[in-house]
Amino acid sequence: MKRINSFLPTLVLGLALTLTYSTLAPAANIIAEQWTRFENTLISTRDYDNPVQDIKVRVEFTSPSGNKRTFLAFWDGGRLWRMRFSPDEPGNWTYRTACSDKNNNGLHNQIGSFQCKQYTGVLPLFRHGELRLSENRRYFKHFDGTPFFWLADTVWCGPALSELNDWNIFLNDRLWKEFTAIQFVMTQWRMTKTDAEGNPTFTGKEKVTVNPAYFQRLDKYIDAINDAGLVAVPVLLWAIRGDENPGYYLPEDQKIVLAEYMIARYGAHQVIWFLGGDGNFSGENAQTWKNVGRAVFNKDQHRLATMHVMGRSWVGKEFRGEPWFSFIGYQSGHGDDEKTFRWLNQGPPATEWSNKPDLPVINIEPNYEAHNGYTYRKVHDDHSVRRAAYWSLLVSPTAGVTYGGQGIWGWHTKVQAPANHISTGLGSPWFIAKDLPGALSMKYLCQFFKSIEWWKLVPAQEIIIDQPGAKDASKFIAAAKSNEGDIAVVYLPEGDSVTVKTESLNKTATARWYHPRTGGWLSAGTIEQSPQTFKAADKNDWILLIEAN
């Protein structure tokens, strides 16, 4: 049995390893670390015309304390099947397989065990444990209670089109910029019909056939995301209208087959699922996606899931009560007009977050940097990106936000417009686009929120006097504070001054200005009266932090 050493964070080019433990030896010899991945193989005693359609292999894992969890094994070509599992308890685990073809002695009633030891590495992703909802259900936390700040980058085509060495360079850069998650599309879709080696994810429509070669290549890219300490956030089924998008054209039962396969293959990774991508998930379509979600997710999987919705749409009403639906992800999109700004800072994200049951609310596709605006065709710059990000974080209870950059999301290797997205404008190659100034702004954004107890923040627009956003939505000043009044955060998109009601704030609080473009601080004085006016140093965007001593 070969055991792979724990990963040490590094920016050294080309470092790659996997936190998977796999062997063909008896499983009792395997040692896996908590929250990483146990893997073992099964060999079928017979062939099947279409394994993912013809049979199912379930694996029941029993923890040292006696808890049981059941997962699907997955077909990996020929007669080879694999099981993957992320153990959450140290000690001796056992497992037993059950195949729908009980006469298959290689897949049915196979038993084994492995030892799980505590994780000894340094990556917070594994040191603190799997992600779940907080007690108040407004943000994410790790198993040990440590809050998790969602800061995702959008790399829809990255795993499919990049070379592995380039992928690791990019992930190291995002790790340095303090991103915590990577969004991408897992299957073929309108941007990528195959991966870089010409492999499709699957073929067929009425009865799909999975292509293991596609996923064998993809394994290395998803491993790399977790090995860098980042959460993988794949879209399982891109669903915008079009015959290239499986979430749109596959019948419901085949959506289930394909999604189920991917969840079986990658559910042991540290992932958060987007079930459908960019589709219309409201009205009559909602029921189909509810059915798919109920079929492919279950309580044993312990992974968060949501929908990646179309621009300026909101599916809280349709999905909020679904047991698998863990948070509300919305897309404010790439508009540059008054209507778009007002939808974000005064529309559903600002008004419907308090509906029950409570769920985290995250803008998973705001303005992409270097992307043309929809109305006035002005390119979104770093200020546009920051404005959308800080609005998103403050108009709903703070949980996180996603960044996107032209040239990165389509994984350009030359100056070009994204395929099927000509109107969005030209994008630089990924190795240039990774250093767009808005991406660096996300590092400072993350550092700011991690310097405070961000998980206590809830919207508090009532503390702002003379809101300039009432007349011009682009100048909207967003405000949030803790219920205790010991923290207040105010974002001014165009600097100048802001007048704040301070009655609900801690009387010993002091105020500081944070520079979201460089990460620097300036003093803003103490709380002396209510209301109180604070004046920024210039007309660029600023953050006012009022915090108890």
Q: What is the pLDDT of residue 549?
A: 80
Judge whether 123 and 7 are in contact, CB under 8 Å: yes
Q: With cut-offs at 50, 70 and 90, classify the pLDDT of residue 507.
A: confident
Q: Which pLDDT tens digit goes with each residue over 384-428?
A: 999 999 999 999 999 999 999 999 999 999 999 888 888 888 999
Indicate if the pLDDT at residue 4 is higher than 80: no
**Among 124, 179, 131, CA closest to 446:** 179
Indicate if the pLDDT at residue 14 is higher than 90: no
Omega prior to 531 cis, within 30 of 0: yes
Q: With cut-offs at 50, 70 and 90, classify the pLDDT of residue 22.
A: very low
- CA 329/CA 232 separation, integer angstroms: 15
Indicate if the pLDDT at residue 2 is higher than 50: no
Architecture of the domain made up of 20-122? Sandwich (2.60)
Q: Which helix (H) or strand (E) holds 125?
A: helix 124-127
- The total number of residues shown for the chain amounts to 549
Q: With cut-offs at 50, 70 and 90, classify the pLDDT of residue 13.
A: very low
Q: What is the mean pLDDT of residues 65-84?
A: 98
CB half-sphere exposure, 38, CA atoms < 13 A: 31
The per-residue pLDDT of the chain, averaged, comes to 93
Judge whether 95 and 27 are in contact, CB under 8 Å: yes
Q: Following DSSP, what letter does each residue of 422-445 receive, concatenated?
A: GGG--B--HHHHTT-HHHHHHHHH
Angle between helices 212-227 and 164-176 (to 10 degrees): 30
Map out the domains of the chain as residue ranges: 20-122, 147-455, 460-548
- CA 545/CA 521 separation, integer angstroms: 10
Q: What is the mean pLDDT of residues 119-123?
A: 95
Q: What is the pLDDT of residue 7?
A: 27
- CA 410/CA 229 separation, integer angstroms: 23
For the purposes of burial, counting CB atoms within 10 Å of the CB of 10, is it exposed (0-12), middle (13-18) or buried (19 or more)?
A: exposed
Indicate if the pLDDT at residue 544 is higher than 60: yes
Torsion sign across C-alpha atoms 513, 362, 386, 448? positive
Dig out the tokens for 536 from the structure.
């920024």
Indicate if the pLDDT at residue 69 is higher than 60: yes
- CA 544/CA 495 separation, integer angstroms: 10
What's the N-to-C CA distance of the chain in angstroms? 55
Judge whether 198 and 217 are in contact, CB under 8 Å: no
Topology match between the domains 20-122 and 147-455: no
Indicate if the pLDDT at residue 457 is higher than 60: yes
Q: Which pLDDT tens digit goes with each residue over 242-293?
A: 999 999 999 999 999 999 999 999 999 999 999 999 998 988 899 999 999 9
Q: What is the pLDDT of residue 421?
A: 86
Q: What is the pLDDT of residue 390?
A: 98
Q: What angle do CA 460, 461, 467 make, to 5 degrees?
A: 155
Q: What is the pLDDT of residue 30?
A: 81
Q: Which pLDDT tens digit goes with each residue over 84-101?
A: 999 999 999 999 999 999
Omega prior to 429 cis, within 30 of 0: no
Indicate if the pLDDT at residue 368 is higher than 80: yes
Architecture of the domain made up of 147-455? Alpha-Beta Barrel (3.20)
Indicate if the pLDDT at residue 521 is higher than 60: yes
Which residues, 6 or more positions from 357, have their beta carbon under 8 angstroms from its beta carbon?
A: 137, 320, 321
SS3 367: coil
Q: Which pLDDT tens digit goes with each residue over 222-249?
A: 999 999 999 999 999 999 999 999 999 9
Q: Which pLDDT tens digit goes with each residue over 173-188?
A: 999 999 999 999 999 9
